[in-house]
Amino acid sequence: MYRYDQFDARFVAGRVAQFSDQIERRISGELSEDQFRPLRLMNGLYLQLHAYMLRVAVPYGTMNSAQLRKLAHIARTYDRGYGHFTTRQNIQFNWPRLDDVPQILSELAEVEMHAIQTSGNCIRNVTTDQFAGAAADEIIDPRPVAEIIRQWSSLHPEFTFLPRKFKIAITGAAHDRAAIKFHDIGLMARRNEAGEIGWTVHVGGGMGRTPMVARKLNSFVPHADLLAYLESILRVYNRYGRRDNKYKARIKILVREEGLASFREQVESEFSEVRGGVLSLPEDELNRIKTYFAPPEFKDSDARFDLAALKVSDPEFARFVVHNTHQHARPGYTSVTISLKPVGGVPGDATDTQMDIVADLVERFSFDELRVSHEQNLVLPHVAIGDVRSVYEALCAAGLGEANVGQITDMIVCPGLDYCALANARSIPVAQEISKRFGSAKRQEEIGDLKIKISGCINACGHHHGGHIGILGVEKRGTELYQITVGGDASENAAIGNILGRGITGEEVPDAIERLVEVYLGARSGADESFLNTLSRLGETPFREALYGND
Amino acid sequence: MQILTANELISGATVYFLADGGWGEDINSARVFSEKNIPEMEQAIERAQASGVLISVESETVRVEGSRVVATRLRERIRARGPTAPRHRRQKPDIHHAVEFTHVSL
Ligand code: SF4
Task: Say what the pLDDT of residue A380 is.
Answer: 98
Amino acid at A166: F
Beta bridge partners of residue A173, listed in sequence order:
A138
Q: Do the beta carbons of residue A200 and residue A190 sit within 8 Å? A: yes
**Structural domain contains residue B42:** yes
Helix (H) or strand (E) holding A13: helix A6-28
Per-residue pLDDT tens for A295-319? 999 999 999 999 999 999 999 999 9
**B79 chain-A contacts, CB cut-off 8 A:** 49-50
Yes or no, beta carbons of A97 and B78 under 8 Å apart: no
Query: What's the rounded Cα separation, in Å, for the pair B106 and B94?
Result: 19
Mean pLDDT over A46-68 rounds to 97
Q: Please measure the distance between the N-terminal and C-terminal CA atoms of chain A and give it in whole angstroms.
A: 57
Query: Helix A226-240 to helix A251-258 angle, to the nearest 10 degrees?
Result: 80
CA–CA distances in Å: residue A28 to residues A35, A52, A99, A346, B54: 13, 18, 11, 37, 13
Segment A114-122 mean pLDDT: 94
Q: Tell me whether residue B50 is in a domain.
A: yes
Can you state the angle between helices A251-258 and A260-274, rounded to 10 degrees?
Answer: 110
Q: Which domains does chain A carry?
A: 6-110 (3.90.480.20), 134-290 (3.30.413.10), 307-397 (3.90.480.20), 412-548 (3.30.413.10)
Residue A179 in this model has a pLDDT that exceeds 60: yes
Helix (H, G, I), strand (E, B) or coil at A517: helix
- Cβ-nearest to A27 among B10, B14, B73: B10
Closest Cβ opposite residue B10 in set A33, A99, A418? A99
Q: How many CB atoms lie within 10 A of CB A82?
A: 21
Range of the domain at B70: 2-100
Tell the residue nearest (CA) to atom 2 of ligand 1: A457
Are A88 and A167 within 8 A, CB to CB?
yes
Q: Quick: pLDDT tens for A483-535.
A: 999 999 999 999 999 999 999 999 999 999 999 999 999 999 999 999 999 99
Q: What is the mean pLDDT of residues A220-225?
A: 95
CB A254, CB A284: distance < 8 Å: no
Lowest mean pLDDT across A230-244, A278-292, A307-321, A467-481: A278-292
A268, burial (CB in 10 Å: exposed 0-12, middle 13-18, buried 19+): middle
* Chain A residues within 8 A of B75 when measuring between CB atoms: 49, 417, 423
Q: Which residue of B has its CA nearest to A456?
A: B75
| Residue B95 pLDDT | 65
**Strands A52-56 vs B2-8: parallel, antiparallel or unpaired:** unpaired
Residue B106 maps to a domain: no
CA A58 to chain centre: 10
Which residue has its alpha carbon closest to ligand 1 atom 6? A461
The Cα–Cα gap between A85 and A315 comes to 30
In chain B, residues with a C-beta closer than 8 Å to the C-beta of A475 are 74
Residue type, A246: K
CA–centroid distance, residue A68 to ligand 1 (Å):
25
Given a cut of 70, is residue B100 above it in pLDDT? Answer: no
pLDDT value of position A145? 95
Q: What pLDDT score does A283 carry?
A: 84
CA pair distance A529, A7, nearest whole angstrom: 52
Closest residue to B10, CB basis, from A32, A98, A432: A98
Mean pLDDT computed over A128-156: 96
Half-sphere exposure of B67 (CA within 13 A, CB side): 2
State whether residue A51 sits within 8 Å of chain B by CB: yes
Q: Which region among A65-74, A398-407, B91-100 has the lowest average model confidence (pLDDT)? A: B91-100
Main-chain dihedrals φ then ψ at residue A484, nearest 5 degrees: -105, 130
- Whole-number pLDDT of residue B87: 77
pLDDT of A281 strictly over 90: no
- Residue A550 banded pLDDT, cuts 50, 70, 90: confident
Which pLDDT score, from 0 to 100, does residue B96 have?
60
Q: Say if residues B44 and B59 touch (Cβ distance below 8 Å).
A: no
- Mean pLDDT of the residues in chain B: 89
Local structure of residue A504 (DSSP, 8 states): B
Q: B83 and A419 in contact by Cβ < 8 A? A: yes
Does the beta-carbon distance from B78 to A418 stay under 8 Å?
yes
| % of chain A with per-residue pLDDT over 70 | 100
Mutate to test the pocket of ligand 1, among A207, A209, A459 (most ligand atoms within 8 A of CB): A459
Q: Pick from A29, A99, A418: which is nearest to B83 by CB?
A: A418
Query: Cis peptide before A296, with omega less than 30 degrees from 0?
Result: no
Chain A: closest CA distance from residue B73 (Å) = 6
**DSSP letters spanning A273-294:** HHTTSTT---HHHHHHHHHHT-
Element (H, E) at B96: helix B95-102
Question: What was the pLDDT predicted at B102?
Answer: 54
With a 6 Å cutoff on the Cβ, whether A415 touches ligand 1 is: yes
d(CA A333, CA A280): 36
Strands A325-327 and A333-338 turn out to be antiparallel
CB proximity list for A127: less than 8 A, separation 6 or greater: A60, A61, A88, A89, A167, A168, A169, A170, A178, A183, A374
* Domain assignment of residue B76, yes or no: yes
Quote the CA–CA distance of A235 and A232 in Å, as a whole number.
5
| pLDDT category of residue B106 using cuts at 50, 70 and 90 | very low
Query: B68 C-alpha vs ligand 1 centroid, how far in Å?
Result: 30
Q: CB under 8 Å to A290, separation ≥6 — which residues?
A: A141, A144
Neighbours of A478 (CB within 10 A): 12
Determine the Cα–Cα distance for residues A376 and A340; give it in Å rounded to an integer.
7
SS3 assignment, position B5: strand
Q: How many domains in chain B?
A: 1
A455 in contact with ligand 1, CB cutoff 6 A: yes
Question: Which chain B residues contact residue A346 at CB under 8 A?
Answer: 85-86
Residue B81: closest C-alpha in chain A: A50
ipTM of the complex, rounded to two decimals: 0.93
Comparing CA positions, the residue from A345, A411, A426 lying closest to residue A374 is A411
- The 3-state DSSP class for residue A128 equals strand
Q: Are B53 and B100 in contact (CB under 8 A)?
A: yes
What pLDDT score was predicted for residue A221?
97
Structure confidence at residue B104 (pLDDT): 46
Q: Which residue of A97, A346, A430, A475 to mutate against B (max B Cβ within 10 Å)?
A: A97
CA of A133 to the centre of ligand 1 (A): 31
Q: What is the DSSP string of A253-278?
A: HHHHHH-HHHHHHHHHHHHHHHTTST
Q: For position A135, what pLDDT does the model report? A: 98
